[in-house]
Amino acid sequence: MRLSQSFYKTLKEIPKDARIPSHQLMFRSGMIQQLSSGIYNYLPLALRSIRKIEKIIREELDSRGCEEVLMPAVQPASLWQESGRWDLYGDLLLRFKDRKGNDYCMGPTHEEVITDMVRRNLKSWKQLPWNLYQIQGKFRDEFRPRFGLMRGREFIMKDAYSFDVDVESAKKSYWKMHEAYTAIFSRCGVRFRAVDAATGEIGGDMSQEFQVLASSGEDLILSCDSCNYAANIEKAVTTSTGGTPDETAFKALETVDTPGQKTIEEVSSFLGAEASGFLKSLVYESDSKPVLVLIAGDRDVNESKLQAALGSGVLRMASNTLVEKTMGTSPGYVGPVGVSSEVFVVADLSVTRGINWISGANEKDKHIRNVNLRRDFNPDKVIDIAFAAAGDSCPKCSGGKLEEHRGIEVGQVFYLGNKYSKMMDCSFLDEEGESQPAEMGCYGIGVGRTMAAAIEQNHDENGIIWPVPIAPWEVVVLPLQLNDEAVVEAAETIYESFRMAGIDTMIDDRNERAGFKFKDADLIGYPVQVVLGGRSVAAGNAEVKFRESGEKSEMPLDDVVVVVRDWILERRQGGAE
């Protein structure tokens, strides 16, 4: 391609809301344009990279027996009503009516449509397993679209769905996709980790996310410093309990006045005590019933763990009115002592690790000291409902400690079980002629987010440093003086030879100053720049610059194509750890 003819423009100024490097660089290098909040035009440079990522995905999935399909973006509400998600999915779902008044939505994901598609073809166990995928535009009406393609409202996703006869083969399909994802992201040239993940509204009981490690990542990951345990903070397990407490150290209950002191910070400074000595007592509403939740004052409740522990459909903090009605006091003074047996009480494991707690006294302006588990309160459940934190013991090995990293979720695999197949009657006749619901898995990759994450991990102050496998163009040829015939001829010959050698090559044939061309080349991030200046060409040479290392070498014009081609081919298969 000739840059002089290319539809692109690099920009100096960056939009105010572009706060992370990938968003700024994609905008400055003319890869994307914003059409509306979270909705983008993909310009040629971006689309070339996206197509390469898609090609890698297709190769890895096709080679594992997956088949590509294409489902519509617009989905009828009736399917979502069948799965029960029309009411549960919330505001992320963009809903609208057609001219006849029928309800539709823009697909944020395709479990419903694929389950319907499969149930129409599925009759016998002999047909399975099936693994179907598509690469398609999704729409999610995100609360805060941001960071460019990282969190858009319309975005490109690869979604795949597996259908199996039983749990054992469904788990095989799951691990095969896990392996495919590992291959895909290493071929894309990004550094990533697979981590245990929560399943959220999609359901199922086994899931992992593929996280690209980057300081701007929105996700927090905890990993063990001595074994391979790694989990999203949403899922990371806290294990250790305090064993049996020493009851002889229990002190007598003592009610203290704490006028106007409600938060743990206020009460702890008022009483001169550490936050870790408080029993945080929170009232939640789980499927319209109040639940008292207890946790050590220096820990936070992980609501997705709590929701799973309670098996609740809808979980939220109780309103002040419900707290008053249930506990007889306002939220700042709630505690576990003397709570009515009607109220379900859940305590986090951290509650077993201390004695002589301070808690609210269920009376305005009062707290109680020396509150103790079993003697003063008896939770209905003692279970892990806390967020794990850096420094916690590893739940998998003995002796390891958890460390914190930031990550960008580029993909996720879920074992779904038969949630959708049961709700939507997607079943087959087994060997005994009995009807069985299919065992399902679903698997997503954010294609645009993967490209953005690669830039987030591979850039410097001058611009993008593309990993070769997903670079829009692998090489740029830079003739510096267009009025020097020898330069132009050498550049055109080399450009043509690269093209013949199958290398994706751009020639910057614009009549611009050398400095201007270098700046753009660094910004766009071509892995290799072949520079043809008057003096070196006269000496029969070209200068080759490698974007990542910044290394430059002068070599004979005749050698350039072979040296650069070999360098590129060695890196096309990716392989960052």
Residues at the interface with ligand ATP (CB under 6 A): 109, 140, 142, 151-152, 155, 157, 409-412, 444, 446, 448-449
Under rule CB under 5 A, residue 162 binds Mg ion:
no
**Minimum CB separation from ligand ATP for residue 509, in Å?**
35
Enumerate the β-bridge partners of residue 382. Answer: 347
Please, which of residues 355-384 interact with Mg ion by CB under 5 A?
none
Tell me the C-alpha distance between 47 and 469, whole Å. Answer: 14
**Minimum CB separation from Mg ion for residue 388, in Å?**
19
Judged by beta carbon, residue 280 or residue 449, the one nearer ligand ATP is 449
Tell me the C-alpha distance between 213 and 457, whole Å. Answer: 8
**Minimum CB separation from ligand ATP for residue 140, in Å?**
5
Residue 434 burial (CB count, 10 A):
10
Beta strands 130-139 and 154-164 are antiparallel
Closest residue by Cα to residue 170 from 204, 208, 200, 197: 204
Residue 155 interacts, among ligand ATP, Mg ion, none and using kind-specific CB cut-offs from 5 to 8 Å, with ligand ATP
Copy the structure tokens of residue 524.
């766009």
Judged by beta carbon, residue 290 or residue 411, the one nearer ligand ATP is 411
CA angle 477, 480, 486 (to 5 degrees): 90
Q: Where are the alpha helices (DSSP H) in 386-505?
A: 419-423, 447-457, 485-500
Residue 410 interacts, among ligand ATP, Mg ion, none and using kind-specific CB cut-offs from 5 to 8 Å, with ligand ATP
Task: Select the residue whose beta carbon is closest to ligand ATP and give its number.
Answer: 446
Under rule CB under 5 A, residue 115 binds Mg ion:
no
Residue 152 interacts, among Mg ion, ligand ATP, none and using kind-specific CB cut-offs from 5 to 8 Å, with ligand ATP
Under rule CB under 5 A, residue 458 binds Mg ion:
no
**Minimum CB separation from Mg ion for residue 446, in Å?**
9
Judged by beta carbon, residue 140 or residue 565, the one nearer ligand ATP is 140
φ, ψ for residue 231 (rounded to 5)?
-150, 150
| 8 Å CB contact between 204 and 417 | yes
Instruction: Count the site residues for Mg ion by CB under 5 A.
Output: 1
Judged by beta carbon, residue 133 or residue 473, the one nearer ligand ATP is 133
**Minimum CB separation from Mg ion for residue 203, in Å?**
13
Query: How many angstroms separate the Cα of 511 from the Cα of each of 45, 479, 481, 484, 514?
Result: 21, 10, 8, 12, 9
| DSSP code of residue 227 | S
**Minimum CB separation from ligand ATP for residue 184, in Å?**
12
Tell me the C-alpha distance between 63 and 313, whole Å. Answer: 39
Judged by beta carbon, residue 441 or residue 448, the one nearer ligand ATP is 448
Under rule CB under 5 A, residue 207 binds Mg ion:
no
Judged by beta carbon, residue 177 or residue 531, the one nearer ligand ATP is 177
Judged by beta carbon, residue 209 or residue 348, the one nearer ligand ATP is 209
Copy the structure tokens of residue 14.
């960056």
**Minimum CB separation from Mg ion for residue 409, in Å?**
5
**Minimum CB separation from ligand ATP for residue 173, in Å?**
17
Residue 103 burial (CB count, 10 A):
14
Tell me the C-alpha distance between 249 and 370, whole Å. Answer: 10
Judged by beta carbon, residue 181 or residue 278, the one nearer ligand ATP is 181
**Minimum CB separation from ligand ATP for residue 444, in Å?**
3
Judged by beta carbon, residue 61 or residue 476, the one nearer ligand ATP is 61
- Annotate 421-445 with DSSP letters as a single string: HHHTT-EEE-TTS-EEEPEEEEEEE
Copy the structure tokens of residue 112.
């419903």
- Say which amino acid occupies 312: S
Task: Select the residue whose beta carbon is closest to Mg ion and give its number.
Answer: 412
Residue 305 interacts, among Mg ion, ligand ATP, none and using kind-specific CB cut-offs from 5 to 8 Å, with none
Residue 203 interacts, among Mg ion, ligand ATP, none and using kind-specific CB cut-offs from 5 to 8 Å, with none
Q: Hey, which bits of 37-180 come out as E strands? A: 39-42, 67-68, 74-76, 95-97, 103-106, 130-139, 154-164
**Minimum CB separation from ligand ATP for residue 353, in Å?**
31
Tell me the C-alpha distance between 330 and 205, whole Å. Answer: 37
Judged by beta carbon, residue 122 or residue 212, the one nearer ligand ATP is 212
Give the interface segment with Mg ion, choosing from 286-294, 336-344, 398-406, 408-416 (CB under 5 A): 408-416
Hey, is 63 helix, strand or coil?
A: coil
**Minimum CB separation from ligand ATP for residue 523, in Å?**
23
Give the interface segment with Mg ion, choosing from 8-16, 42-50, 94-102, 411-419 (CB under 5 A): 411-419
φ, ψ for residue 274 (rounded to 5)?
-75, 145
Residue 157 interacts, among Mg ion, ligand ATP, none and using kind-specific CB cut-offs from 5 to 8 Å, with ligand ATP
Judged by beta carbon, residue 163 or residue 185, the one nearer ligand ATP is 185
Judged by beta carbon, residue 372 or residue 412, the one nearer Mg ion is 412
Tell me the C-alpha distance between 18 and 484, whole Å. Answer: 41
Q: Which helix (H) or strand (E) holds 230?
A: strand 230-232
Residue 411 interacts, among Mg ion, ligand ATP, none and using kind-specific CB cut-offs from 5 to 8 Å, with ligand ATP
**Minimum CB separation from Mg ion for residue 197, in Å?**
7
The only residue of 199, 372, 412, 541 in contact with Mg ion, by rule CB under 5 A: 412
**Minimum CB separation from ligand ATP for residue 408, in Å?**
8
Judged by beta carbon, residue 147 or residue 495, the one nearer ligand ATP is 147
Q: Which helix (H) or strand (E) holds 211?
A: strand 206-213
Enumerate the β-bridge partners of residue 543. Answer: 531, 554
List b or e across 520-532, with b for residues whose CB sees 16 or more CB atoms inside 10 angstroms.
bbbbbbbbbbbbb
| 8 Å CB contact between 387 and 410 | no
Give me the residues that bind Mg ion (CB under 5 A), please.
412
